[in-house]
Amino acid sequence: MGERIDPRQTGEMPFLAHLEELRSVLWHTVIACVVGAIGGWVLAPRVLEGLIRRTVGHAVVLTPLEAFNERFKLALLIGLVLVLPYVFYRLWNFVVPGLLHRERAMILPMALASAVLFLAGVWAAYGYVVPLVVHTLSAFLTPSMTAQIRVSDLLGFFYNLAVACGLVFQLPLVTMTLTALGITTPEFLLRQWRFAIVGVFLVTAIMTPGDVVTAQIVMGFPMVALYFLSVALSWLVARRRRAESMKEVEGA
């Protein structure tokens, strides 16, 4: 017996069958998100307590429902992170048969790398960036001031910086993709290192005003290292691209 071919690759699957499979994928995704939210509900207090301890030390709630609402939203986000691998697997199995072999080879590694880098940025925000920024901003308090930070405001601040860090951590992937497409080169990126350093410390100055010595240096140097890591990865991609080009020329 020959190898079974997915009917989606040959165009033999009826449209209604596509819809039925999509309905199954969405239904399983919803169930997974509900299960993840239950796990997130259990983990949310620990995550929130850890964030409060790392930042303000004590947070307040001003309405009876605020604690519940914030725990519920945090549980949904944690649950989404927990089930993200399964959701991605289901969506990938639905989409991949309609892709060309080259597209499969490119999209899957890029999507996985992007997800890992984004989660790494969120983790960096939780354990490093948000506490640093909050402690820096607390230096503006005078002796007669007492900080009373709402839980909702603290979490909103964390969500914003977590998304920002997750996007910043995409820099290596972006440079590798641009290099693979021939839009940029590692030599060009390396020549721009002065502008990159100025840009990094400008961004850290905006994010952490006031304490230049600690905040800008502590946050700036990892971002500069991330830029040079991106250049190194770009060089590896460019080297592989040149090798493939030489093979094609020799084969012709």
pLDDT tens for 11-37 read 455 666 667 777 888 898 899 999 999
Q: Could you tell me the pTM of the whole model? A: 0.75
d(CA 180, CA 240): 9
The ranges assigned to domains in the chain are: 11-123
Q: Is the pLDDT of residue 152 over 90?
A: yes
pLDDT value of position 52 = 94
Strand ranges for the chain from DSSP E? 59-60, 149-150
In terms of DSSP H, where are the helices of 169-212? 171-180, 186-191, 193-207
Q: Check if the beta carbon of residue 189 is closer than 8 Å to that of residue 171.
A: no
Is 8's pLDDT higher than 60? Answer: no
- Phi-psi category of 59—alpha, beta or left, where left has phi over 0 and alpha has psi -120 to 50? beta
Distance of CA 140 to the CA centre of its chain: 31
110-129, pLDDT tens digit by residue? 778 888 888 888 998 898 88
Please tell me the predicted confidence (pLDDT) of residue 206. Answer: 67
Q: What is the pLDDT of residue 15?
A: 63
pLDDT digits (tens, 9 = 90+) for 66-107: 999 999 999 999 998 889 888 888 877 777 766 556 656 666
Residue 1: predicted pLDDT: 44
**pLDDT number for residue 61:** 93
